[in-house]
Amino acid sequence: SQKIEQNSEALNIQEGKTATLTCNYTNYSPAYLQWYRQDPGRGPVFLLLIRENEKEKRKERLKVTFDTTLKQSLFHITASQPADSATYLCALDNAGNNRKLIWGLGTSLAVNP
Amino acid sequence: DAGVTQSPTHLIKTRGQHVTLRCSPISGHKSVSWYQQVLGQGPQFIFQYYEKEERGRGNFPDRFSARQFPNYSSELNVNALLLGDSALYLCASSSKTRGTEAFFGQGTRLTVV
């Protein structure tokens, strides 16, 4: 069956450390994968998009990797800050005619001062 | 420049009633997608419209319908509301149907009692 899985448990880290979040998928062949941040009661906010032919993408303190062999994406936040505390969602393109993004359940990140 | 706007922000309805949710995309964006997000879950795709045509449909019953207007704004209609329809309904706009980031509104919190 098709699945997209993110770290099921909340991640607690100390301010200044690097947070690493995982997104694994099964039985999909996405053309691209996206990461979003979501705060309670708000809509998701786009962070990064990485295509299947890209290994790594960076934006300021954020880095995403995409390994289509392992069927995995890693999302890193370096020099984390308490303001980075939120739920982080990965979404992949379900290549096909349905045009829909498939979303993980999200990983809750708490950065402690 | 205004982002994606949704109305209303909160709504309480009784089982069996009908509801209409509205979304105005970012200026220049022709694609609007609707998602349902239940607490603790990732967004679930409902519909995508592009240039006033339905381009994708998720696994939702026929009680859910949508349309897009000439100005690219969109409505999501849900008939015969069930308790299980209680959720955050998100609208996302994008410049293309695939391969680009989605910009989300703040959502409409629907509670069915």
Average pLDDT (B7-31) is 96
Q: In this predicted model, which residue has the larger pLDDT, B23 or A52?
A: B23
The pLDDT score that the predictor gives to residue A62 is 98
A90, β-bridge pairs: A35
Which pLDDT band holds residue A109 (cuts at 50, 70, 90)?
A: very high
Nearest chain A residue to B90 by CA: give it: A43
Q: Measured between CB atoms, does B25 come within 8 Å of chain A? A: no
B37, β-bridge pairs: B88
The pLDDT score that the predictor gives to residue B67 is 97
Is residue A91 within 8 A of residue A3, CB to CB? The reply is no
Average pLDDT (A71-98) is 90
Average pLDDT (A25-43) is 91
Q: Measured between CB atoms, does B43 come within 8 Å of chain A? A: yes
Is residue B90 within 8 A of residue B105, CB to CB? The reply is yes
pLDDT at A17 over 60: yes
| Number of A–B residue contacts, CB under 8 Å | 63
The pLDDT score that the predictor gives to residue A64 is 98
Is residue A36 within 8 A of residue A89, CB to CB? The reply is yes
Mark which residues 10-39 of A lie under 8 Å from B by CB.
31-32, 34
Q: Which residue, chain included where needed, has tokens 């105005």?
A: B24
When scoring A6, A99, A102 by the number of chain B Cβ atoms within 10 A, the one with the most, hence best to mutate, is A99
The Cα–Cα gap between B23 and B75 comes to 6
When scoring B35, B54, B93 by the number of chain A Cβ atoms within 10 A, the one with the most, hence best to mutate, is B35
Q: Among residues B56, B38, B43, which one has the least CA distance to residue B111? A: B38
Least confident of A31-35, A59-63, B7-11, B74-78: A31-35
Torsion angle of the four alpha carbons A39, B90, A76, A83, in this order, in degrees rounded to the nearest 10? -20
Per CB-CB distance under 8 Å, the chain B contacts of A102 are 45
- B56, B101, B109: residue with CB nearest A49: B101
Average pLDDT over chain B reads 94
Q: Among residues B87, B83, B75, which one has the least CA distance to residue B17? A: B83
Q: pLDDT tens across A56-84, in order?
A: 999 999 999 999 999 999 999 999 999 99
Q: What is the DSSP string of B65-109?
A: EEEE-TTS-EEEEE-S--GGG-EEEEEEEESSSSSS--EE---EE
Average pLDDT (B69-93) is 97
Q: Is the peptide bond before B70 cis (omega within 30 degrees of 0)?
A: no
The Cα–Cα gap between B50 and A103 comes to 21
The Cα–Cα gap between A4 and A12 comes to 22
